[in-house]
Amino acid sequence: MTAVILPQEIILAEPRGFCAGVDRAIEIVERALAKFGRPIYVRHEIVHNTYVVNDLKERGAIFIEELDDVPPGATLVFSAHGVSQAIQREAERRGFQIFDATCPLVTKVHVEVAKLHKEGFEFIMIGHKGHPEVEGTMGQLDSGIHLVEDVADVAHIQPSQTEKLAVVTQTTLSVDDAADITAAVVARFPLIKKPKMQDICYATQNRQDAVKVMSPQVDIVIVVGSPTSSNSNRLREVAKKLGTESYMVDHADELKAEWFEGRSRVGLTAGASAPEILVKAVIDRIKALGAVSVRKMDGIEETVKFPLPKGLRIDQASE
């Protein structure tokens, strides 16, 4: 009888897990709860992670999609993904106390769109239809912004003019896919204006690069992340495209023993919205299946930190 090969070693991608934008968004909700008490209302999931959302719910956060569900005078937090101008204006009109947890790298895209719009530009946005970040960015304008999800879409968009066109990108896309789509956009509209720095955020890029290094060294890749998390889904896709079997799990209970049969080296990473506590639980589960060692890859150490909104900072004497 042939012995079944079980996992022996876990290799941890570096970097993985929380990014500065996610850290900031969660801290905004935590500080709002500490300062103003429960409940605090949050439009959309603060970040796309089930564990994080459920933890904040238990502490007094109420997650809503429609502003009609927020009572007068309440404190409202916008999620890390950003909101449209219409939502922003309506929330202000209703007089809520607002704290904006939009990731500063998403805000940078919003600012660029507003600036170029004033100069007469239309936009082609590369992103996933229905994703809250895409809805927020496209909602910075009433018209003149056209969404493309893949290379095939590029042939079908019809801007009203081509002299002043600019391209913007959802921050959590696959770096390689975005590059392919951008190339198709440039081929069709050679004069299109590209951002000085790419819109895909540093954390998305770094985590994808780490998976690219890790995948050839392992027999299977496990990504910790929730199904709604764009950047987590992209990590699984990156590994798969490199020919390494890959699975995404929301928590350790979703791991299946048969995934690891015949696979001795397990690569493990986590999306930018997945906390380290979930990674540790997955490590424990894989150890229970036979793994005896855990090795952390060398990788970029991220030192980015974003400031909190005025009104929530600890160092403000007036608070």
Please enumerate, by residue number, every residue annotated as part of a binding site for isopentenyl diphosphate.
Answer: 48, 81, 131, 229-231, 273
Q: Write out the DSSP string of the chain.
A: -PPPP---EEEE-SS-S--HHHHHHHHHHHHHHHHH-S-EEEES-SSS-HHHHHHHHHTTEEEESSGGGSPTT-EEEE-TT---HHHHHHHHHTT-EEEE---HHHHHHHHHHHHHHHTT-EEEEES-TT-HHHHHHHTTSSS-EEEE-SHHHHTT---S-SSSEEEEE-TTS-HHHHHHHHHHHHHH-TTPBPPSS-SS-HHHHHHHHHHHHHGGG-SEEEEE--TT-HHHHHHHHHHHHTT-EEEEESSGGG--GGGGTT--EEEEEE-TT--HHHHHHHHHHHHHTT--EEEEPP-PPP----PPPTTS-TT-TT-
The one catalytic residue in 45, 112, 133, 237 is 133
133 is catalytic: yes
Binding residues: 19, 48, 81, 103, 131, 171, 201, 229-231, 273
Annotated binding site for [4Fe-4S] cluster, which residues?
19, 103, 201
Enzyme catalytic residues: 133
